[in-house]
Amino acid sequence: MASPAANNAPTGAPKEQGKSTSLLQRRIKKFKSLKRGYYSFLIVLGLYAFSFILLFFINNKALVVHYNGEYYFPVFKEYVAAKTLGMTEDGDAPVNFRKLQAKFEQENGDNWLVMPPYPWDPDERDQETKIVDEAGETVNYPYPPSSIHWLGTDPSGRDVFARMAYGFRVSISFALLLTIINYSLGSALGGLMGYYGKKIDLFGQRLLEVWSNIPFFFLVLIVSSIIQPSFIILILLLSLFGWIGMSYLMRGEFLREKAKDYVSAAISLGASDRQIIFKHILPNSLTPIIATLPFAIIGGISTLVGLDYLGFGLQGKLPSWGEMLQIGNDNKEHLWLLLSPIGAMFITLLLMTFIGEALREAFDPKEYSRLR
């Protein structure tokens, strides 16, 4: 059988000489040609990949320590007692590597260590930097931006830049995971209703009507305020309701595709339901998934920010932009506390919007003809 993807190809699409390209290949090529969206995609992808090795760049633990002829790699360890590296006065407390570095430099001996370029942990309170203003008074938290803390610290002395950077990974991972679960659930249930139709569809639609009318954000607030969910639990909680939108789209796709000739052909060839669903219809129904993906991720990021802003999200378990926003809103006189999370969010969401727009253009193009 000919590639089913060619079925809804736009007529008259130019083919390259000698080799035929599939619809998907052509769409990807189109996406790549939309520079703004494509470069945004590369930037986001790069940043997200980078965020997984952030540990080596923004952290308060040394990457390598050379002490008394032995090498240590504390960055991989949860905890290193201060006395093991010769800081006897700190005893069993965790090593302060910035202090250790200063000590090694003072001793000028064989011992050395390599710190990450930005030596602050997102959850660490800065208790060593002392800032004095012009009048000679010590400045309390929050510290304003400086060469030590690029974006200052928050009112509990935690480094804003480090929190912002780690918040990026948390935000994107959260939204990505949420979207994957929502889309899988939505496609499975929507596809089921669309493919089998009849009673399953009727029953499903009734259930959906109830489910979609539940004031779900409110309900998430209530449950979240009681159980104080973890990262995964919060995602599962949100995905209880988040799949509804995709199920409508996929139901529509399946209803439409089911009626097409290539499905009849597959049926008459004796293909099983499973084969038809997964091998024939699904590959042709991916447009709504791909075209809405970036917007779903935007939605996921915004939801997490909103929940954290209200104090009903991750509740301080992980660095998050929403919590930073809430802190910034409570301390309006220190503008950097507000500008940092809003800036980070704005840039991320803007890039996502560019990607989304380009994907839509490539996968679900609308052609407008005008007489004048």
Q: Does residue 209 interact with other proteins by CB under 8 A?
A: yes
218-to-211, 238, 241 alpha-carbon distances in Å: 14, 11, 12
Comparing CB distances to other proteins, the nearer of 199 and 366 is: 366
Our CB check for other proteins shows the closer of 93 and 207 to be 207
C-beta closer to other proteins: residue 61 or 334: 334
**Between 118 and 211, whose beta carbon lies closer to other proteins?**
211
Q: Does 243 bind other proteins (CB under 8 A)?
A: no
Q: How far apart are CA 258 and CA 255, in angstroms?
A: 5
To other proteins, the closest distance from the beta carbon of 218 in angstroms equals 6
**Crossing angle of the two packed helices 335-363 and 35-51, in degrees rounded to 10:** 130
Q: Which residues of 296-323 are buried (b: 16+ CB within 10 A; e: fewer)?
A: bbbbbbebbbebbbeebbbbeebbbbbb
**Which token pair is 309?**
């802003």
DSSP strand pairing (70-72 vs 131-132):
unpaired
Q: Is there binding between residue 10 and other proteins (CB under 8 A)? A: no
The smaller minimum CB distance to other proteins, of residues 273 and 330, is found at 330
Instruction: Determine the interface stretch with other proteins among 50-58, 134-142, 272-280, 308-316 (rule: CB under 8 A).
Output: 308-316
Q: How far is the CB of 221 from other proteins (least distance, A)?
A: 5
| Widest distance between CA atoms in the chain | 88
Q: What is the spatial distance between Cα 339 and Cα 81, in angstroms, rounded to a whole number?
A: 37
338 binds other proteins (CB under 8 A): yes
Q: Does residue number 11 form part of the binding site for other proteins (CB under 8 A)? A: no
Residue 23 interacts with other proteins (CB under 8 A): yes or no: no
**CA–CA dist 154, 23 (Å, integer):** 51
Give whichever of 233 and 269 is closer to other proteins, judged by the CB atom.
Answer: 233
Q: Specify the residue, 19 or 370, whose C-beta has the smaller distance to other proteins.
A: 370
Q: Pick the stretch among 55-63, 153-161, 215-223, 245-253 that binds other proteins (CB under 8 A).
A: 215-223
146 contacts other proteins (rule: CB under 8 A): no
DSSP 254-275: HHHHHTSHHHHHHHHTT--HHH
CA distances from 138 to 196, 226, 339 (A): 71, 40, 24
Q: Could you tell me the two tokens for 243? A: 């799949």
In the complex with other proteins, the residue whose CB is nearer, 42 or 227, is 227
- Considering only residues 160 to 179 of the shown chain, the ones binding other proteins according to CB under 8 A are none
Tell me the site size for other proteins, rule CB under 8 A: 44
Is residue 332 involved in binding other proteins (CB under 8 A)?
yes
Is 369 a binding residue for other proteins by CB under 8 A? The answer is yes
* CA distance to 5, 176, 184, 246, 282, per residue, from 286 (Å): 11, 17, 12, 11, 7
**Closer Cβ to other proteins, 26 or 163, answer by number:** 163
Report the chain's terminal Cα–Cα distance, integer Å.
43
Q: Does 312 bind other proteins (CB under 8 A)?
A: yes
Structure tokens at 69: 């002829």
Convert residues 339-368 into a mask of x (bound to other proteins by CB under 8 A) and - (unbound): x-xx--xx--xx-xxx-----------x-x
Q: In 3-state terms, what secondary structure has residue 181?
A: helix
From the list 68-76, 85-93, 244-252, 327-335, the region that binds other proteins by CB under 8 A is 327-335
Interhelix angle 231-242/244-258, nearest 10 degrees:
50
- Is 58 strand, coil or helix? strand
183/354 with CB nearer other proteins: 354
Q: In this structure, are residues 247 and 208 in contact, taking their beta carbons and an 8 Å threshold?
A: yes
The CB-of-124 to other proteins minimum distance in angstroms stands at 26
Token pair listed for 159: 């480094």
223 touches other proteins (CB under 8 A)? yes
Q: Which two tokens stand for residue 319?
A: 């660095």
Give residues in contact with other proteins (CB under 8 A).
209-210, 213-215, 217-219, 221-223, 225-227, 298, 302, 305-306, 309-310, 312, 325, 328-329, 332-333, 335, 338-339, 341-342, 345-346, 349-350, 352-354, 366, 368-372
